[in-house]
Amino acid sequence: MQKFVYFLLFFCGFCYAGPCEDCLTSGKEWCASVGKCGVSPCPVTVKRALNCPSLPDAAHSYDDSFIRANFLPLIGGAHADDPYICLRKNAPTMVVYNTVRANCTGQGDGPQTPCFMYTAYDTSRKIILMAFRGTSTPQQLIEEILNFSHKKKPFFDVGYIFDFFYDAFIALWNNGLSSDIRNLKYLHPDYELWVTGHSLGGALSSIAASYVVKIGLFQGQNTKLLTMGQPRTGDYKYALWHQNTFPYSFRIVHHQDIVPHIPPQLMPDGDEMFHHRTEIWYNNNMTVGEPFNVCKEADGLYCSSTQVDTNVEDHLFYFGHFMPTWGERGCP
């Protein structure tokens, strides 16, 4: 019996239901304003379990200095045709394995979208990396906003994702990413997987991390996923599965960045699209030492969603760098 209890505790490490979840299960709404169940009137209510207040555990907490020093140059490298120009000074132990390009334009009148990513590995820190390039120009961003949310397709058995993102990832996967990541896994079977990207690259990173876990190549517990300015990528079921699979997963949002708020949660066809956890919101210019919010809710009227105004400029600038060109300049 004791062994059975230990098994349940291990297996259901993500299954704990707190007072908010219990409240929703009972058919009531959780009042986030006062932290109580069934309070009326309530300024801010929680109606979906993914928005029940929760923070990452101490072993998977967000560290601003760690992200600036370790992940930011890797994302910058994805914006350079030769990622090494970013890595040689900022991540000297990281070795570029290969670069992959694909035409991710899709069907019909979709946005003209050349996709790019690179794989790398670090023998000193035991890391395998997938880094995806984001949107390169404001015009490309506008085209993507107008087109990528038209259709959805199933993602294995865990909900739906936008087919523009899925097809873009599969194009990269079939153009060499599949063989590259399998080879790296074969060469370094015990390495941790890091996946990262900005903008479109953020959506591709979310799908890439999820894909390699679903096919059994990596485990979510041994994966670090970090995105910046990621648009909504999938539906509620996808976000819920993601939360229960990746203990280290962060979506960084800069101030009034417009992209994390598109497509809207409620689609014209009635589907509910949802961000996965955990949002890190910088309600400032993101210079060193500025505060940030580790958001307790996945995708509600909190943190960056409290902003009435949004803009494109905050999407293109992260941590004080103009992301589309910072990598091309060697991430100085």
For 14-41, the pLDDT digits (tens) are 444 589 999 999 999 999 888 899 998 9
Q: Angle, to 10 degrees, between the axis of helix 163-172 and the axis of helix 200-214?
A: 70
Question: If you count them, how many residues does the chain have?
Answer: 332
Q: For the residues 195-202, what does the mean pLDDT come to?
A: 96
Distances (CA, A) of 81 to 52, 289, 324: 42, 31, 12
The DSSP line for 282-316 is E-S---TT---EE-SSSSSSSGGGG-S--BSHHHH
Residues above pLDDT 70, as percent of the chain? 87
Q: For 55-326, give the CATH class.
A: alpha beta
Higher pLDDT, 320 or 137: 320
- The residue ranges of every structural domain in the chain are 19-53, 55-326
Would the pLDDT of 86 be above 60?
yes
pLDDT given for residue 9 in this prediction = 32
pLDDT digits (tens, 9 = 90+) for 141-174: 666 666 656 688 999 999 999 988 998 999 999 9
User: What pTM does this model have?
Assistant: 0.91
Selection from 244, 161, 151 nearest residue 207 by Cα: 161
Please list, in sequence order, all residues whose beta carbon lies within 8 angstroms of the beta carbon of residue 143, skipping any fewer than 6 positions away: 110, 111, 112, 113
Q: Which residue(s) pair with 122 in the sheet?
A: 127
pLDDT given for residue 107 in this prediction = 52
